[in-house]
Amino acid sequence: MLWNSSNIRIKDFEICPDCSAGRGYGWKEIAEWLPRDVDDFDVFLYIGIGPADDETRDTFHLSILSRRNYQNLNPEQKRRLRTRWKYHVVERYEWAAIREEIQRRLSICDRGNWGDSLEHLRQQFSWEFENMNKPAPTELH
């Protein structure tokens, strides 16, 4: 079962640690995946979220970076990240903590109906339709 709030639900999930290679890891593999260095990494998450009472979904994105990785970005890369993508910085890769952060964000977005919830989801995650003309996360590096 994927994560739920009372009115919105995560319906699918993919982590893309190396988007330029086209290799993503789906929901079943995510708990087993580890970066080469748990203290220096960045991953791009694709999260399908929709109303809990039907099967429709929109795709949202969230970049997860280690503090070390973020600190090693040059000023232009940091500016691009801040202005184009929603992101979350962690000390080290711990899937349980990342999952908890995603669940926290999902919970605060639930507004009782999809339209109102979508507005809040767009504040916590990058929405697929807002990023149509933005560079992929691999272009940040």
Q: What pLDDT was estimated at residue 15?
A: 83
The pTM (predicted TM-score) of the whole model is 0.81
Alpha-carbon distance of 79 to 113, in angstroms, equals: 34
Does 92 fall in a domain?
A: yes
Does 56 fall in a domain?
A: yes
Q: What pLDDT was estimated at residue 13?
A: 84
Number of independent structural domains in the chain: 1
Alpha-carbon distance of 80 to 58, in angstroms, equals: 23
Does 74 fall in a domain?
A: yes
Q: What pLDDT was estimated at residue 130?
A: 79
Does 2 fall in a domain?
A: no
65-77: buried (b, 16+ CB within 10 Å) or exposed (e) per residue?
bbeebbeebeeee
Does 66 fall in a domain?
A: yes
Does 111 fall in a domain?
A: yes
Mean pLDDT by 10 residues, the chain (141 residues): 74 75 60 87 91 93 95 94 92 92 93 92 91 55 46
Q: What pLDDT was estimated at residue 31?
A: 72
Does 139 fall in a domain?
A: no
CB 5 within 8 A of CB 123: no
Q: What is the DSSP letter of 19?
A: G
Parent domain of 39: 8-134
Q: Which residue's entry shows tokens 């149509």?
A: 132
